[in-house]
Structure 1
Amino acid sequence: MKNNILTMAFILLATNLVNSQKAELPDALQKKWWKEAVVYQIYPRSFKDSNGDGVGDLKGIISKLDYVKSLGVDAVWLNPIYASPNDDNGYDISNYREIMKDFGTMEDFDVMLKEMHKRGIKLIMDLVVNHSSDENKWFQESRKSRDNKYRDYYHWWPAEKGKPPYRWSFFDVNSNAWKFDAQTNSYYLHYFSEKQPDLNWENPKLRQEVYAIMKFWLDKGIDGFRMDAFQFISKDNTFPDLPKEIVNTPAAIIKYYLNGPHLHDYIQEMNKEVLSKYPNAMTVAEGAGDSPEAAMKFVDPDRKELNIAYHFESVDVGKHLKDFGLVKYKSIFSKYDDKFEDKGWLSIFLANHDQPRMVSKFGNDTPQFRELSSKMLSTFVLTMRGTPFYYNGDELGMDNIRFDSIEDYQDVDTRNKYIGIKNKGGDLNAFLAIQKQSSRENSRTPFQWNTEKNAGFTTAKPWLKVNPNYKTINAEAQEKDPNSVLNYFRKLVKLRKQEPALVYGKYTLLDKENPNVFAYTRELNGKKILVLLNFSEKNAPYNIKIPIAKSKIILGNYKIKKINILQPYEAQIIELK
C-alpha cells in the first residue's frame, strides 16, 4: 500500500513537472501537429480524371493517394468540391452539404477520406462563406421578396434609396460590386462575380447556418478548414461612401474591406461554438490582414480564434520577384518572423491556385535553370519557420503555360477583365501579354503524370489545355531520376521531419543587404542549421560571420560546391559545427 502511494505521488509530481515545463514554453515552441505538417494542395479539377470526361475528380484523387503518400506530406488541402454551377471553379457554392457532380458523390468523398486517413494523410477543406452561389437555395429564396425569411442572409439595397454607394468587385466586368435585381427592385452585393452574392454575417441566423455546415464536415472526420476570403466577412451594413482618396485604387479598397467592424467578434464566436469543440482541427486564415500586427490578431492563442495565418505579402510582389527585389522580399519574412517569434503561427508558401507557377514567378523557368531554381525554391519553403503549403505540380517544376488567346482561358477573372477592357477600348494585346505571366490559370493546367495523351490526366479533351512540355516534365520520368525535382522535394520533406530546428527553430536573417542571396539560420536546443539560397542566375558571393569550413552540407542542389560563392540558383542546407 505504502509503495502504491509513493508511486502515485511520484507520477503526480512528474506530471506536474511536465505540465509546468510545457506552460513555461512560449506558444511558438509548443508542439502541434499542424505546425509540423507539410501541407500539399490539390486542385481537384486538374489532378486526375477517372471517368474520361476531361475533369479531375475524387476517384482520380483516390487513385493517386499512394503518390501523395510517397511525397511524405502530412495533409492535403483540397480546393472546393461542394455542389456548384462552377462560375468560379467551385468557389461559388450552391449546396454546402453535397458534392459537385463533376467530382463524384458523397460516397466517393467518404472513401477518399477513409483512404487518406489510412495512409496517415489529414484532409483540410476550403470553407467558402464570404459568399455563396446565386444558385444556392438561400439566395434563390432571398431574391423572391423583401420579406422572405432568407432575405437578410445577403446584403440588399432598395433601389428607391438611389444607387448604393460604390463598392469595388474583384471579378465584375465593370468592377462594380452591386448588381440590380428587378424582382424586388433592389441591388445585391458581390465582392467577387455577380454569381457570388456576399453573405450577410451581421445576421446571427446566417452565422448559425455556417457553424452547422462546419460541424457537418468536422463530424465526418475532416481535419480542418482553410477559410477562404475570410477577411471580408464583416461589413458595415449602412455602406457609407468610400473615402475619396481610395475610390479609384483597388489595393486601397481591399485594405478598407479588411477592416470590417465585427470581423474578430465573429471568428471568436465561431471558435466558441464550433472550433473549441474540435481542438485538433487546423484552421487557416486566408489573407490574414495587411501587416504582421493584423495577422497576429487572427492567431494569437489568447484571442481564441484560428491557428495559422496565411498572409499575402509574400506573394504580392508583382509579375516576378526579380522586379520586386530580393532585399525587400527578405524584409517581408523577417518582419513577420519578428512579430511571430514567441506566439502565433504562420504559413509559408510561394504558390497556390490563385498564383502563377512558383518557378515562373519566383525562379527561372528557362530550360537551363528550371530544375535548379525549382529545387532552390522548394528548399526555401521547406526550411523557413511556419507551416509549408506546397501546390501540386510544383514538386515536378511545372511552369506557366502562357496562353496566347482569350479563348484558351476559362477563368472568370481573366475573361471578365478582358471584356471590361474591350468595352472601354483598351489595349487587349497588352492585357493578354500580362496574363501570360500573371494569370492564375497558369497554375491550374492539368497535372503532368506521364508522356501519354494529355499527360495521363484524362483520355478525353481536358477542361483546360495541358502544358505542351509534359513530354519532358512529368512524374513518371522524374520517379526514375534520383536527381529529379520530385526526388529532391522528397528529400527536403524527410529532412524537415528529422530536424525539429527546421520546424520550431529560431530564424535569424544573415547578409541582409545581399541583392542575390537569401541566407538565414534555424536554431533549436543547440542545433544550428544554415540555409544559403541564390535567387539569381549568376554566381553570387555572400558575407556571413559564421565559420563553415568544418560544417557539413546535409542537402543541396549542386554536386560540386564552390567556396564562399553560390552558383546560379544554388541551395545549401548546412549543419553548423
Structure 2
Amino acid sequence: MEKAWWKESVVYQIYPRSFMDSNGDGIGDLQGIITKLDYLKELGIDVIWLSPVYKSPNDDNGYDISDYQNIMDEFGTMADFDELLQGAHDRGIKIVMDLVVNHSSDEHAWFVESRKSKDNPFRDYYIWKPGKNGDPPTNWGSVFGGSSWQYDETTNEYYLHIFSKKQPDLNWENETLRKAVYKMMTWWLEKGIDGFRMDVINFISKDSRYPDGEVHGENKYGDGSKHFMNGPGIHEFLQEMNKEVLSKYDVLTVGEMPGVDVEQGKLYTGEDRNELNMVFQFEHVDVGNGPGGKWTSQPWKLTELKGILTKWQYGLADDGWNSLYWNNHDQPRVVSRFGHDKEYYEKSAKMLATCLHMMKGTPYIYQGEEIGMTNVAFESIDDYRDLETLNMYNEAVNELGKDPNKVMRAIYERGRDNARTPVQWDDTENAGFTTGTPWISVNPNYKEVNAKRVLQDPNSIFHYYKKLIQLRKENEIVVYGKFELLHEDSEEIFCYTRELRNEKWLIVCSFSTELVKFELPNQIKYQSKQLVLGNYEDEPITIETFELKPYQTLVYKLT
C-alpha cells in the first residue's frame, strides 16, 4: 500500500458558527478560529476540515451557497480567510474546505438566471421538469420533508431539490456547469487550501428517466434515493474531476456518501481508480435506526456496530482507504450515543476514542469531542435551530398528531443540534464562546465540561486524545498495520489487533457498565507485553484472562 500524508493525518472538523465568536454577535467566525489555532496545535491535529464559510442566505447553515468564491458576512472576509490559512500553515496545520456542489442556493446567480426562462443560458445548470397531471414530476420526498420538487410559476415547471427548496440540485449532465465547478475548485486550490470534503457527492448523478420511488410505511412521498445515490454517471464525473483538478495537487479528498457500501467504497477510493482518497459511509451511525429512520430509534447491539466497522476495515484493507469518525455536525455526541454520559462519562469517552483511533484509516475529531461534550436536552422546540429537526417536529406533532414529549425525546437522542451547541471553552457566561447572545443556546453543563478545565487536568479526555494523536505519529503500525477482529460474537467487548512486520498491538474495549471477563484468544502468541495506553490507573496482572472494568480500554504492544 502506498504511503501518503493524508493517511497519516488526524483531521479536526470545525463548524464555524459554533466554534468561537470574536465580535460578540453570537455567531462563530473566522477570527474566532484564528484565536484558537494554538489550542489545535496543542491537541496535535494535522488538518482542519472547515464546514462551509461561503456566502449563503443560511437556510441550511451554510450548505446553501450563493457565491462559492466569497465569504459569508457573519464569518468575516476573504482577508480573514487568508489570515486563517496562513496562520494554520505557519503551525503545520492544513485546511480542507467543504465542497458543496450537489446543489447551490436558490439565490446563487446561476439559479437566479436559470429560473427566468426556458431558453436562458443557465437554464440547464439545474434540473427542471414539467409536472405530471398537476403533480410534481416524481413522488420523491425531500430529505428535509415534503416533496423534492418545487413548482416555479415563471416557467410553469418544477425544479429538483433533494434537500431544502432553497437548495436546487445542480445538473451534472451539463458539461458547461461541470467546467464552472472545476474552475472554482482550482481557484481555491491555487489559493493554497489542502483539499476538499465533498458534501453528498454521490448524489450528483441522477437516473435520467426519473422514475417514482417506493413508498414506505406512513410516508406520503416515495424514496427516490436509489435513483439519485451512486447514479449511473457518478464515476465518470469523479474521474473527470480528478483529471481536470485534483490530480494536479497533492490534496486530501473525502466524499460524504450516504448509502454507499463496501464494494462501491472500493470503486470510489481504489488507488488506480483516480477518484477520491476516502469516503464517509454512514452504516455505523445508522445502527439502531427504526422503521422511521433515526427518529424511531431502537436498541442496538455491539455485534452490529462491530460488524459494520469490521466489514469496512477488511473491505478496504488492501485497496482504498477508510475514514474513521464517530461525530460530525449531523450526528449526536458520541459519548451520549455509544458511551455513558453520566456515571462512566470520562471512561467511556476515552474508550470510544481509543476504539476508533487505533483502527486503520484517517481519524476525524469533531469540535468539542476532545473535551467530552455531550448531547443537550432543551426544554422547548423553540430552542432548536436545525431545519431537519424543526420540519420533523412540525410534521410529527402538527400534521400527524404525535405526542410532543415522545418527539422531543427522539430529538434529544438523535437531533443534529446536539452537535451544534457552542464549543464550551470555559465556565464563564456562554461558556466563553461569545460576549453576546449565542445563535443557539449553550449546553447547560458547560461549568463542568469545558476546555479550560480539561487543559489543566493531565488525566483529562483532552490529554487522552493528545496521546492517541501522538501514538499515530510515532508508530507506523497504527497507520498501516493490518487489522484483525477478535471475539466477534461478544456483545460487551470490541477487541482487535493491528500487525505490521514483527510487531503486534492488542486493543481491548469494553462497551459495558458491568465487569466483563476477557480471555486472550489462543492464536495470540507473545513473549513480552507493554501497556501503551489505558483509561484506568492500574492494569491487569495478566492478559490471558482478567476482568474488564466498566468501559475499560487497554492497548498493548506484544513482542
TM range (shorter): over 0.9
Percent of residue pairs identical: 51
Question: 384, 388, 399: which is aligned to 2:359?
Answer: 384
1:87-118: per-residue Cα shift (whole Å, max 9, x none)? 10000000000000010000000000000000
Q: The residue matched to 1:241 in structure 2 has which SS? A: coil
Q: In the alignment, is the contact (CA less than 8 A) between 1:284 and 1:307 conserved in 2?
A: yes
CA apart distance, 1:327: 1.1
Aligned to 1:111: 83
Aligned to 1:489: 465
1:302 aligns with 2:272: yes
* TM-score, normalization by structure 2: 0.94
1:141 aligns with 2:113: yes
Alignment of 1:493-572 (within 5 A): 493-545=469-521, 546=524, 550-562=528-540, 563=542, 564-572=546-554
Q: In the alignment, is the contact (CA less than 8 A) between 2:214 and 2:223 conserved in 1?
A: no
Give the Cα–Cα distance (whole angstroms) in 2 for the partners of residues 488 and 389 of structure 1.
15
1:72 aligns with 2:44: yes
1:420-452: per-residue Cα shift (whole Å, max 9, x none)? 221233333321110011001001100000111
Q: In the alignment, is the contact (CA less than 8 A) between 1:289 and 1:295 conserved in 2?
A: no
Q: In the alignment, is the contact (CA less than 8 A) between 2:56 and 2:62 conserved in 1?
A: yes
Q: Which amino acid aligns with 2:406?
A: A
Alignment of 1:362-377 (within 5 A): 362-366=338-342, 368-377=343-352
Aligned to 1:17: none
Give the Cα–Cα distance (whole angstroms) in 1 for the partners of residues 262 and 183 of structure 2.
31
Q: The residue matched to 1:73 in structure 2 has which SS? A: coil
1:302-351: per-residue Cα shift (whole Å, max 9, x none)? 22111112111121113699921111211112211222111110101011
Q: In the alignment, is the contact (CA less than 8 A) between 2:18 and 2:423 conserved in 1?
A: yes
Question: 170, 180, 186: which is aligned to 2:143?
Answer: 170
1:51-93: per-residue Cα shift (whole Å, max 9, x none)? 0000000000000000001111100011000000001000000
CA apart distance, 1:550: 4.0
Aligned to 1:442: 418
Q: State the Cα RMSD in Å.
A: 1.9
CA apart distance, 1:160: 7.2
Give the Cα–Cα distance (whole angstroms) in 1 for the partners of residues 169 and 217 of structure 2.
21
Q: The residue matched to 1:518 in structure 2 has which SS? A: strand
Give the Cα–Cα distance (whole angstroms) in 1 for the partners of residues 216 and 341 of structure 2.
39
CA apart distance, 1:498: 1.0
Q: Which amino acid aligns with 2:552?
A: E
Q: Which amino acid aligns with 1:235?
A: K
Which stretch of structure 1 is more off in the superposition, 314-323 or 336-345? 314-323
Q: Which amino acid aligns with 1:436?
A: Y
Give the Cα–Cα distance (whole angstroms) in 2 for the partners of residues 388 and 251 of structure 1.
35
Aligned to 1:269: 240
Q: The residue matched to 1:418 in structure 2 has which SS? A: helix
Q: Which amino acid aligns with 1:305?
A: E
Aligned to 1:311: 281
Question: 246, 250, 255: which is aligned to 1:285?
Answer: 255
Structure 1 residues 507 and 251 mapped into 2: Cα distance closer, same or farther (>3 Å)? farther
Q: The residue matched to 2:348 in structure 1 has which SS? A: helix
Give the Cα–Cα distance (whole angstroms) in 2 for the partners of residues 547 and 557 of structure 1.
24
Q: Which amino acid aligns with 1:449?
A: W
Which stretch of structure 1 is more off in the superposition, 243-252 or 530-539? 243-252
CA apart distance, 1:419: 1.9
Question: 389, 392, 396: which is aligned to 1:414?
Answer: 389
Give the Cα–Cα distance (whole angstroms) in 2 for the partners of residues 70 and 53 of structure 1.
27
Give the Cα–Cα distance (whole angstroms) in 1 for the partners of residues 464 and 222 of structure 2.
37
Structure 1 residues 68 and 359 mapped into 2: Cα distance closer, same or farther (>3 Å)? same
Give the Cα–Cα distance (whole angstroms) in 1 for the partners of residues 480 and 281 of structure 2.
19
CA apart distance, 1:231: 1.0
Larger radius of gyration: 1
Structure 1 residues 85 and 272 mapped into 2: Cα distance closer, same or farther (>3 Å)? same
Question: 193, 207, 212: which is aligned to 1:236?
Answer: 207
Question: 372, 375, 395: which is aligned to 1:400?
Answer: 375
Structure 1 residues 241 and 254 mapped into 2: Cα distance closer, same or farther (>3 Å)? closer
Structure 1 residues 255 and 239 mapped into 2: Cα distance closer, same or farther (>3 Å)? closer
Q: In the alignment, is the contact (CA less than 8 A) between 1:360 and 1:399 conserved in 2?
A: yes
Give the Cα–Cα distance (whole angstroms) in 2 for the partners of residues 458 and 345 of structure 1.
39
Give the Cα–Cα distance (whole angstroms) in 1 for the partners of residues 502 and 197 of structure 2.
34
Q: The residue matched to 2:320 in structure 1 has which SS? A: coil
Give the Cα–Cα distance (whole angstroms) in 2 for the partners of residues 526 and 46 of structure 1.
45
Give the Cα–Cα distance (whole angstroms) in 2 for the partners of residues 352 and 57 of structure 1.
18
Q: In the alignment, is the contact (CA less than 8 A) between 1:246 and 1:252 conserved in 2?
A: no
Consecutive unaligned residues of structure 2, counting only runs of 5 or more, are none
Q: Which amino acid aligns with 2:9?
A: A
1:85 aligns with 2:85: no
Give the Cα–Cα distance (whole angstroms) in 2 for the partners of residues 261 and 486 of structure 1.
44
CA apart distance, 1:479: 1.0
Q: In the alignment, is the contact (CA less than 8 A) between 2:212 and 2:222 conserved in 1?
A: no
Consecutive unaligned residues of structure 1, counting only runs of 5 or more, are 1-28
Give the Cα–Cα distance (whole angstroms) in 1 for the partners of residues 255 and 217 of structure 2.
25
1:573 aligns with 2:545: no
CA apart distance, 1:256: 4.2
Structure ranking higher in helix proportion: 1
Give the Cα–Cα distance (whole angstroms) in 2 for the partners of residues 554 and 302 of structure 1.
36
Give the Cα–Cα distance (whole angstroms) in 1 for the partners of residues 36 and 359 of structure 2.
28
Q: Which amino acid aligns with 1:309?
A: V
CA apart distance, 1:369: 0.8
1:17-56: per-residue Cα shift (whole Å, max 9, x none)? xxxxxxxxxxxx3110000000011110011000000000
Give the Cα–Cα distance (whole angstroms) in 2 for the partners of residues 548 and 423 of structure 1.
63
Structure 1 residues 267 and 161 mapped into 2: Cα distance closer, same or farther (>3 Å)? farther
Aligned to 1:12: none
Give the Cα–Cα distance (whole angstroms) in 2 for the partners of residues 310 and 407 of structure 1.
31
Q: The residue matched to 2:284 in structure 1 has which SS? A: coil
Q: Which amino acid aligns with 1:362?
A: F
Aligned to 1:23: none
Aligned to 2:99: 127
CA apart distance, 1:250: 8.4
Q: Which amino acid aligns with 1:272?
A: K
Q: In the alignment, is the contact (CA less than 8 A) between 2:514 and 2:550 conserved in 1?
A: yes
